[in-house]
């Protein structure tokens, strides 16, 4: 009775008899004609040739229209242009040419490592074996990697792709193993310096770095979810852990066994090896670990390289370092100076301002942007705690901050390796440690201000103001007794100056570490505050 | 799977959700309807433990959203309304990132991502930057992300907004298929979609639940439509006096032709009785039909009933 003539008709609904259509791409990808790119390549080729000739000909006592230094400049610009072309042009013939160039460069680097043999000319210091490896072989290795990876990016032929990737991977593995092995063990095969510490501070550290880049390139070019990439990452992490523990043990050993001071290992070999081991360990973790804070740190770190800010910061720090380095060198060439000479290098008005400015710029986007675009909601409805969000952003910015400081260190490496100036660089290590920790404090402050606003600019300005206020403490330092001591702990400029003059007291770091922890805690609470009722 | 009891939420003085109570059982697909600003998104945010409730209890998969937030989040896939994504990442990279955050084991990850990319038809754009994708594709990425860890409960806030007609059907078919093994709570403004996939609807208005019934129940209810020539007031009272009539709603008058909507008690077919009652008084019946009550009718009924301004405005005045 109730439902006479009425039956639920559920079938004439939108989904009745629906059949899937095949998926189509939203838009067709057109093969572009890289005319401008090839024009760049042509100009770059001319520049490379001119620059290369200008660099080579003076060695044969032939004059050339430009001198060696302009030659180097043209050559560098030309090579950059060629790399740009290699990255952009997908055509088969160019891919083959560039892969050949890469392989030849790699081969040349190998030859330069074993040739020419050591030579003794009377009345002159003995020329070591493979003396061209550091100035020429290393750039060859770096360029080879860039060209090979540029080719692999576009390579469609499975055979070539696999071959080139395998070569890159094997070369990387050889560099890593050789770099670490000869840096740790004193081995004399005739083709090495026979003291591991000398090897470490010259070729070793460079090979270890380049090897990391090779392996990183190898891993990055694997398919997503590849087992090989996972295992390579695991191996790198394992090597890093081993080297770190070994260096730690050898650094502690002389202290606990009360050995004389000349057998101390910590400074600098221990520190350098521990740093490198840690770098490898972090790399391995970044590749392999699925632990949420690490996964997020990795994403945040790559996000820096997606945005122009990252490149601007690195470029700016490189330029500031170059200017500072130039004005640091000038007095050095005039008169002998007292150690530590590096004390004069990093600290000046512009570098200090940039060290205050960079943390504010790096952190301003981190949380404010997520709040503005709403991605914070997506993030915090996944099983991710507020603390791991904050920590991963903090560590990513800290790592990037440290990376942006690397150029300053590299100039000093150039002074030591190319200029053959045996200066005391150890205060620089202390300076970088101090900088890392004060930087951690600054970044935590920046992150906090980023978390309380949706506007990046407001976050940056607030962070900059607070860090400036902390800096201003330096000029207050002549106050009566108790205040003076307290302010010395707070003033990071005092800490930097002490560190770079070789008077580094780790207890001075306490305040900056506390600032970092305090502001990270506050930031976590700000994120949690939306849940307070 | 989802239990909500006396849930309220205030944003300062604004009452977004007012003491709502409902349940969603395992394997049910429930449509969550309501006009803009009714409190749908707020309720969903509370259920995903993104926002706290001012008072009341909400449990998802047996876990309290306030105290066991992590367990709740592990068991839900959530697609927020505006689908915020990291625009600088590539589609596949983003899905890998999300699957890691959600704890998909490494060995199953590739298979899961392949599966969701297939189902959300993202294969062709897997290497594109999310920032270069259109709104509909971003919606698909968001949906793929919500499903990537195969959660037992899916909470989807307007999953079909911005999609093209093909993709709307694909998505609805997908939701329907997922509904066989998952519990799904979805909000939308498009009633035909709800009719297509949902088993039950909850209609919310001004923060209150107006209606929570299964769709089959709604549609089995019948509405009798009647046009009669004659004096409207008298016809209405006659109709109301007819045995079996539950409610008579006058729907206006045109050229002496009065329209009525009549609901019968216990959903009986009383067309014959009505016809007789009217013709006995010598009014002419011009139209008499009985049809299923559409979800749309139910929806508007709820809005009318709950309209807080009902007393103020004269509905006749507005109609004219």
Per-residue pLDDT band for A6 (boundaries 50, 70, 90) equals very low
Share of residues in chain A with pLDDT > 70 (%): 92
Q: Write down the residue that tokens 């942006």 correspond to.
A: A404
B159 pLDDT above the threshold of 60: yes
Give me the pLDDT at residue A193, please: 53
B220 pLDDT above the threshold of 60: yes
Give me the pLDDT at residue A195, please: 66
Mean pLDDT of A274-297: 90
Q: Enumerate long-range contacts of B11-18, CB under 8 Å, 24 or more apart.
A: B15/B207, B16/B42, B16/B207, B17/B42, B17/B43, B17/B46, B17/B53, B17/B207, B18/B206, B18/B207, B18/B208
Bigger pLDDT: B32 or B261?
Answer: B32
Phi and psi of B19, rounded to 5°? 55, 55
Shortest CA distance from A17: residue in chain B: B173
Q: How far apart are CA A214 and CA A220, in angstroms?
A: 10
Whether the Cβ atoms of residue B145 and residue B95 lie closer than 8 Å to each other? yes
Shortest CA distance from A25: residue in chain B: B124
Q: How far apart are CA A148 and CA A214, in angstroms?
A: 10
Query: Are A20 and B170 an interchain contact pair (Cβ–Cβ within 8 Å)?
Result: yes
Give me the pLDDT at residue A388, please: 93
Give the mean pLDDT of chain B. Answer: 83
Q: Which among B100, B173, B224 is the top mutation candidate for probing chain A, defined by the most A β-carbons within 10 Å of its own β-carbon? A: B100
Share of residues in chain B with pLDDT > 70 (%): 94
Give B299: exposed, middle or buried? Use CB within 10 Å, 0-12, 13-18, 19+. buried
Size of interface A-B (CB pairs under 8 A): 127
A303 pLDDT above the threshold of 50: yes
Give the mean pLDDT of chain A. Answer: 84
Q: How far apart are CA A262 and CA A260, in angstroms?
A: 6
> How many angstroms separate the CA of residue B73 from the nearest CA in chain A?
5
Of chain B residues 157-196, which have a CB less than 8 A from chain A? 166, 169-170, 172-173, 176, 192-193, 195-196
Q: Which residues contact A267 (CB under 8 A, 6 or more apart)?
A: A426, A429
pLDDT digits (tens, 9 = 90+) for A397-433: 999 999 898 888 878 777 776 666 677 777 888 888 8
> How many angstroms separate the CA of residue B185 from the nearest CA in chain A?
16
B192 chain-A contacts, CB cut-off 8 A: 13-14
Shortest CA distance from A288: residue in chain B: B106
Share of residues in chain B with pLDDT > 90 (%): 18
pLDDT digits (tens, 9 = 90+) for A17-68: 667 777 777 777 777 777 888 999 999 999 999 998 888 888 788 877 788 8
Per-residue pLDDT band for A255 (boundaries 50, 70, 90) equals confident
Q: In 3D, which of A179, A164, A181 has the Cα closest to residue A217?
A: A164
Quickly list DSSP for chain B: -EEEEEEEEEETTEEEEEEEEEEE-TT-EEEEE--TTSSHHHHHHHHTTSS--SEEEEEETTEETTTSHHHHHHTEEEE-TT----TTSBHHHHHHHHHHHTT--HHHHHHHHHHHHHHTT-GGGTTSBGGGS-HHHHHHHHHHHHHTT--SEEEEESTTTT--HHHHHHHHHHHHHHTTTSEEEEE-S-HHHHHHH-SEEEEEETTEEEEEEEHHHHHH-EEEEEEEES-HHHHHHHHHHSTTEEEEEEEEEETTEEEEEEEEGGG---HHHHHHHHHHTTPEEEEEEEEEPPHHHHHHHHHHHH-TTTTTS-HHHHH-
Mean pLDDT of B189-211: 82
A187 pLDDT above the threshold of 80: no
Give me the pLDDT at residue A418, please: 63
B288 pLDDT above the threshold of 70: yes
Q: How far apart are CA A173 and CA A159, in angstroms?
A: 21
Q: How far apart are CA B315 and CA B320, in angstroms?
A: 9
Bigger pLDDT: A363 or A188?
Answer: A363
Q: How far apart are CA A279 and CA A285, in angstroms?
A: 10
A366 pLDDT above the threshold of 80: yes
Query: Are B103 and A5 an interchain contact pair (Cβ–Cβ within 8 Å)?
Result: no
- Beta strand B14-24 with B2-11: parallel, antiparallel or unpaired? antiparallel
A303 chain-B contacts, CB cut-off 8 A: 86, 88
Q: Which residues contact A343 (CB under 8 A, 6 or more apart)?
A: A427, A497, A500, A501, A502
Mean pLDDT of A241-268: 83
A361 pLDDT above the threshold of 60: yes
Give me the pLDDT at residue B312, please: 42
Q: Which residues contact A376 (CB under 8 A, 6 or more apart)?
A: A367, A370, A527
């Amino acid at each position: 009775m109730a439902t006479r003539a009425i039956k639920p008709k559920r079938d004439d609904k939108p989904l009745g008899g629906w059949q899937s259509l095949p998926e189509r791409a939203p838009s067709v990808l057109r093969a572009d004609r890289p005319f401008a790119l090839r024009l760049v390549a042509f100009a770059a080729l001319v520049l490379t040739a001119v620059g290369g000739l200008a660099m080579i000909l003076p060695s044969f006592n032939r004059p050339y229209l430009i001198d060696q230094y302009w030659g180097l400049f043209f050559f560098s610009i030309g090579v950059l242009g060629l790399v740009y072309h290699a990255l952009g042009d997908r055509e088969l013939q160019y891919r083959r040419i560039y892969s050949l160039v890469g392989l030849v460069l790699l081969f040349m680097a190998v030859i330069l490592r074993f040739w020419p043999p050591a030579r003794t000319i009377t009345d002159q210091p003995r020329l070591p074996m493979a003396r061209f490896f550091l100035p020429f072989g290393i750039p060859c290795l770096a360029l080879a990697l860039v060209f090979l990876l540029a080719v692999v990016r576009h390579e469609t032929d499975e055979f070539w792709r696999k071959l080139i990737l395998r070569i890159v991977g094997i070369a990387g593995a050889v560099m890593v193993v050789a770099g670490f092995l000869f840096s740790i063990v004193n081995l004399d095969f005739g083709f090495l310096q026979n003291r591991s510490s000398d090897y470490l501070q010259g070729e070793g550290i460079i090979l270890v770095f380049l090897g990391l880049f090779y392996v990183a390139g190898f891993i990055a070019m694997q398919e997503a979810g590849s087992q090989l990439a996972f295992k390579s990452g695991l191996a790198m992490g394992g090597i890093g852990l081993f080297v770190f523990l070994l260096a730690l043990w050898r650094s502690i050993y002389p202290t606990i066994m009360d050995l004389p001071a000349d057998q101390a290992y910590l400074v600098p070999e221990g520190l350098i090896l521990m740093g490198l081991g840690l770098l490898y360990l972090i790399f391995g973790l970044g590749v392999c670990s699925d632990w949420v804070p690490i996964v997020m740190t990795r994403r945040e770190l790559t996000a820096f390289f997606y945005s122009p800010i990252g490149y601007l910061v690195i470029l700016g720090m490189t330029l500031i370092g170059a200017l500072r380095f130039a004005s640091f060198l000038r007095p050095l060439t005039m008169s002998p100076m007292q150690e530590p000479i590096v004390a004069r290098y990093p600290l000046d008005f512009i570098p200090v301002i940039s060290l205050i400015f960079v943390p504010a710029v790096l952190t301003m986007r981190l949380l404010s942007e997520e709040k503005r675009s709403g991605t914070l909601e997506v993030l915090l409805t996944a099983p991710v705690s507020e603390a791991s969000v904050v920590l991963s952003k903090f560590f990513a910015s800290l790592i990037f901050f440290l990376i942006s400081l690397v150029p300053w260190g590299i100039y000093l490496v150039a002074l030591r390796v190319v200029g053959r100036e045996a200066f005391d660089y150890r205060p620089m290590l202390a300076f970088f440690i101090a900088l890392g920790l004060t930087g951690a404090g600054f970044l935590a402050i920046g992150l906090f201000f980023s978390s309380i606003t949706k506007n990046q600019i407001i976050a940056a300005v607030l962070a900059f103001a607070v860090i400036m206020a902390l800096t201003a403490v330096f000029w207050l330092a002549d106050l009566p007794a108790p205040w003076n001591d307290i302010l010395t702990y707070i003033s990071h400029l005092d800490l930097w100056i002490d560190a770079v003059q070789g008077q580094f007291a780790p207890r001075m770091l306490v305040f900056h570490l506390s600032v970092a922890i305090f502001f990270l805690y506050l930031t976590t609470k700000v994120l949690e505050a939306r849940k307070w009722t | 799977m989802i239990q909500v009891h006396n849930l309220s939420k205030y944003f300062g003085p604004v009452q977004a959700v007012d003491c709502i109570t409902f349940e969603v059982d395992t394997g049910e697909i429930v449509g969550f309807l309501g006009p803009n600003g009714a409190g749908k998104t707020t309720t969903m945010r509370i259920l995903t433990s993104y926002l706290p409730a001012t008072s009341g209890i909400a449990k998802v998969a047996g876990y309290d959203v306030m105290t066991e937030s992590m367990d709740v989040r592990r068991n839900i896939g959530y697609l927020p309304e505006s689908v915020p994504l990291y625009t600088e990442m590539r589609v596949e990279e983003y899905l890998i990132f999300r699957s890691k955050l959600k704890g998909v084991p490494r060995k199953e990850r590739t298979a899961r991502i392949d599966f969701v990319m297939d189902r959300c038809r993202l294969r062709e754009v897997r290497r594109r930057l999310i920032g270069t994708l259109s709104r509909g594709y971003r919606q698909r990425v968001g949906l793929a992300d919500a499903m990537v860890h195969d959660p037992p409960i899916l909470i989807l806030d307007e999953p079909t907004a911005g999609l093209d007609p093909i993709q709307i059907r694909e998505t609805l078919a997908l939701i329907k298929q997922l509904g066989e093994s998952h519990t799904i709570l979805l909000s939308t403004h498009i009633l035909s979609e709800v009719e297509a996939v949902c088993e039950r609807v909850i209609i919310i208005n001004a923060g209150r639940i107006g209606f929570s019934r299964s769709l089959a129940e709604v549609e089995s209810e019948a509405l009798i439509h009647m046009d009669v020539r004659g004096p409207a007031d008298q016809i209405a009272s006659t109709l109301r006096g007819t045995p079996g009539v539950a409610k008579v709603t006058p729907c206006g008058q045109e050229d002496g032709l009065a329209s009525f909507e009549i609901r019968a008690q216990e959903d009986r077919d009383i067309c014959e009785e009505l016809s007789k009652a009217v013709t006995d008084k010598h009014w002419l019946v011009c139209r008499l039909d009985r049809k299923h009550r559409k979800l749309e009718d139910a929806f508007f009924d709820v809005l009318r009933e709950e309209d807080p301004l009902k007393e103020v405005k004269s509905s006749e005045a507005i109609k004219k």
